[in-house]
Amino acid sequence: MPQPLQIGQRVKLRRPHACGGDEWQIFRVGADVGLRCLTCGRRLLLPRGQLERRIVAISPPDLPDA
């Protein structure tokens, strides 16, 4: 069963990005999940199944200030 992923959540992946960052923010959810590196801002799409295998930790979504 797929993990419940939401836009704005922060995820920590097993291997760091080339820039050295390992924290990503979700900006798109579907069959492919869009991630943005929180260190360098690079964006990428990963198939949902591949991302779920790489996730180590999930933080709650960032809520916009009201």
Cβ-Cβ contacts under 8 Å for 61 (sequence gap 6 or more): 6, 7, 8, 9
Is 56's pLDDT higher than 90? yes
Q: What is the mean pLDDT of residues 18-24?
A: 93
Of 28 and 4, more confident: 28
Is 51's pLDDT higher than 80? yes
User: What pLDDT, on the 0 to 100 scale, is given for residue 61?
Assistant: 76
Distances (CA, A) of 9 to 56, 64: 13, 12
What are the residue boundaries of the structural domains of the chain, listed by start? 10-58
Q: Distance between CA 5 and CA 20 in Å, rounded?
A: 24
Q: What is the mean pLDDT of residues 33-58?
A: 94
Is 29's pLDDT higher than 90? yes
User: What pLDDT, on the 0 to 100 scale, is given for residue 63?
Assistant: 64
